[in-house]
Amino acid sequence: MSIRTWALIVLLVGSGCQKWKGQGMSKQTEPAVETLDELLSIRDERELSEALMRHGPIRDEEVPVLAARASDSRPQIRRTATRLLRTVGTTAADAALRQLVMQTQDAQVWALALGQLLEQPDAETLAKARPAMIEAALRDRDPAVSSVALRAAVIAGLPGIREDLERRLGDPDPKVREAVVVSVGELADSSLSGKLRERILVETDSAVYRALVVALSRSADPATAEALRQAAERADQYRAVDFSNAVAESASKQPWFRALLLDLARRPGKLRWSLFNRLAERKTDAPRRELMEISVAELDKFLPAEATKKWLYNIELEACLKFINQTTGQNFKWDELFEARDAARKWLQQPDGSRAG
């Protein structure tokens, strides 16, 4: 495991906002159990992150110890043990987490363990195994716990979950709202999708906003396009970045979404060239002809009537020139824009099957 990967895992144990100050990992000289005792005694999550960095990655022989401590009679010990198990990522550690999901009576331990396994193939089986634990976790005041419970409730088809999701979409904690958005996307409830369309126009949290764009982009309802269009047109510089990143994350294949992105890439706006690039990055369904037509049209507007070899840099044309070069297999510079346009026009005239790029 690389130092970079290890540092990222450590941040996930705590709040995620404590920066590593560059201290080296100390060589372990104490017995494993004593060292884990020191870690397990720490209550503050930031302090735990720092101590875990000094300790180094959890070792294979420490996993059974943590698995046992995750059933300790003291709540803080068992919850910290579960957090530490989440950082390991081995078959043995995941097996310990699965056992906790099936056996623990602590809603926080259950949520910590299940939350690490929700992307695994057996997530549905694990979520459905203990509906009473889902209900207990939904009542927990810790947003990290209730957010896992929301996703589990959707996966398990818990009665009344639709109403609970609608109510929590306005929760003051962004972690809960984000979990609601992800859960609604998994539920595929058209009426709740309408609530997401309303929410994206007022959402202020970056992570929740991105989750909303992703969830809505995957909707089968073409009426969703108008809500996303409004969100894109209203976006300030920060939400514009969030919108673009969410588009890359969603990889939605919905025809209406592709059409919306193309339309936004044709019109002036904060997101225009960012979305142009996102469309160009698509591996299997990039609308190359449409993007090439946009590129030629922009060059037509920009270039003077008489050809010249002057350096004609224009930041608005960066995406176009990059796309022309990638698609035609050329490397035109800013003093070769006329040649780039000619190559783009030639590419558009060729039959689809014979085009380069």
* Residue-wise pLDDT tens digits, 42-57: 888 888 888 888 888 8
245: pLDDT strictly greater than 70 = yes
Q: Which residues of 63-72 are buried (b: 16+ CB within 10 A; e: fewer)?
A: bebbbebbbb
Measured distance CA(130)–CA(268) in Å, rounded: 52
Q: In this predicted model, what pLDDT tens digit does every residue of 301-354 receive, in sequence order?
A: 999 999 988 999 999 899 999 999 999 999 999 999 999 999 999 999 988 645
Cβ burial of 40 (10 Å; 0-12, 13-18, 19+) is buried
The DSSP call for residue 141 is: S
- pLDDT at site 336: 96
Show the tokens assigned to 292: 């090439």
93: confidence class by pLDDT, cuts 50, 70, 90: very high
Q: pTM of the full predicted structure? A: 0.73
Let me know: does 328 contact 298? Beta carbons within 8 Å. no
| Positive or negative torsion for Cα 281, 284, 285, 286 | positive
Average pLDDT of span 82-105 = 95
Measured distance CA(214)–CA(145) in Å, rounded: 23
Neighbouring C-beta atoms of residue 53, cutoff 10 Å:
22
Averaged confidence pLDDT in the chain: 86
Q: In this predicted model, what pLDDT tens digit does every residue of 255-304 receive, in sequence order?
A: 999 999 999 999 999 999 999 999 999 877 789 999 999 999 999 999 99
- pLDDT at site 7: 46
Question: Cα torsion for 12, 17, 20, 25, to the nearest 10°?
Answer: -30
